[in-house]
Structure formats: structure tokens, C-alpha cells
Amino acid sequence: QAQMMQSGAEMKKPGASVMVSCQTSGYSFTDFFLNWVRQAPGHGLEWMGRINPHSGVSNFAQKFQGRVTLTRDTSTTTAYMQLDGLRFNDTAVYYCVSGGNAFDYWGQGTLITVSS
Amino acid sequence: QSALTQPASVSGSPGQSITISCTGISTDIGAEDLVSWYQHHPDKTPKLLIYDVNKWPSGVSSRFSGSKSGNTASLTISALQAEDEAVYYCCSFVLPRSWVFGGGTKVTVL
């Protein structure tokens, strides 16, 4: 059974950067895209981007292009999401999600709070 | 990329069937059969219910079924139960290489 274990909650100031990690286990890490999805308070799910763990190539939703960096470490089967230039409305729960044609396995979520 | 359009809320009585629509455009829902549905209970992680328009992951009840016509996908919940009360999201692949969610539909069991 696939498991996704994310790093803990963080509080950041506006303009700062944050990195969230997602340690995976129980499946072949390089066989499935690793996506990042967020949910702001009172809002729905929002796809941010994905990385192909095999090639390292990333795709992003247009609104996150240039502000999000996705990386992975195949030796530890861990994926990372860095979000730069944090704004108040980046306050959200961030999920890592693996899957092929859908989002099958979800991490527990990481709350990122942006506050001055 | 705009979010897919879902009704904000749908309600039904126990035992009834309800259908949630999800409307997109020709470059997302209309382009490929890569539509999925998720159930999200408060304080839990979303759960995959349907993938590839109408396929069930292992362990998901057949009371949940999916379909698609043109640029609109639908999720039907049959024999509604109290535990089905949650927010439901559709999701579609978007050409050439991204994904988009719907705004979510809150299902209330009366």
C-alpha cells in the first residue's frame, strides 16, 4: 500500500519561501507522477503542478509557473515542493498526491500559514 | 485555466439517488476520458471514487458511478447514506499537460 508522509506545519512571513517534503513508500516511486494540490481555507482543491520522478521534468498550473519548484530524490523516494514569494492567500493545506490517470494516494497534508 | 463548474450543493434523502454535474470545455473534459471524482470529508484527506470517467478503484462502492457526455461529466450516488455527506470534487486532465479541479459540491443527506 502506497504511503505518503509529509513534513510538518510551518508559519512563514510574506515574501518568504517554504519547502514541503513528501516521503513515499510502498510503490515504485518512478512509475507515477507526483502531484501537488492545495486547499485554502473555505476554498476547493487546486492543482499546482506535478513532477515525473523518473525524468525530473515538471509541469505547472499557469498561476504557479515561476513561483513553484518541484524536485525529487530518487534515492530516498522523496519529493519536494518549494513555493517562493509567499502571500497571505497562500495560506493553505498542501498535499502531495501520487497517481497515473488520477490522484490515487494522498499525503496527510501540510498546513502552511502566511502571517506577518 | 478556470475551475470546472459544479453546483455548490446537492441534497437528497436516504435511499435516493443524486447526480452531481461537472462542466468543462473541449480542451479538458471534452478532450480525453481522464475525469476523476473525489470525496472529501472534513479533516480527512480526499478519497478517489472514480477514475477514467467511470472506473472504480479497488474498495470503492458501486453506489458511486460516473459518466460523461461532451464537455460535461457526472457523478451519481445511488442509495444515498448518511456517510455520503461530504464535499465532492471532479477533476479533469487539461491539454496539453495539466489538471484542473471543479469548485466542489457539498452533498447533504436530509
Strands of the sheet with A68-73, listed across from one edge: A3-6, A18-25, A78-83, A68-73
Residue B96 CB partners (closer than 8 Å, separation 6+): none
pLDDT tens, per residue, chain A with 116 residues: 899 999 999 999 999 999 999 999 999 999 999 999 999 999 999 999 999 999 999 999 999 999 999 999 999 999 999 999 999 999 999 999 998 889 999 999 999 999 99
pLDDT at B10: 98
Asked if A104 reaches chain B (Cβ–Cβ under 8 Å), the answer is: yes
Q: Does the beta-carbon distance from B51 to A106 stay under 8 Å?
A: no
What's the pLDDT tens digit per position in B16-26?
Answer: 999 999 999 98
Using the predicted structure, report yes or no on whether residue B1 has a pLDDT greater than 90: no
- B84 pLDDT higher than 90: yes
Report chain A residues whose CB lies below 8 A from the CB of B46: 45, 95, 103, 106
| Cβ contact A102–B98 (<8 Å) | no
Task: Give the pLDDT confidence score for residue B2 in this predicted structure.
Answer: 84
The reply to whether omega before B14 is within 30° of 0 (cis) is: no
- Counting residues of chain B whose pLDDT is more than 90, the rounded percentage is 96
| Mean pLDDT over each residue of chain B, to the nearest integer | 96
Return the pLDDT at A1.
Answer: 87
Could you give the CA distance from residue B97 to residue B99 in angstroms, rounded to a whole number?
A: 7
Q: Are A41 and A114 in contact (CB under 8 A)?
A: no
Nearest beta carbon to residue B97 from set A45, A59, A104: A59
Distance from CA of B104 to the nearest CA of A (A): 6
Give the model confidence (pLDDT) of B26-69 as tens digits: 899 999 999 999 999 998 999 999 999 999 999 999 999 999 99
Average pLDDT in the B79-106 region?
A: 97
Instruction: Write down the pLDDT at residue B91.
Output: 98
User: Given this model, what pLDDT does residue A48 score?
Assistant: 97
Amino acid at B93: F
DSSP output for B28-44: TTTT-S-EEEEEE-TTS
Q: Which residue has the cell 499537460?
A: B97
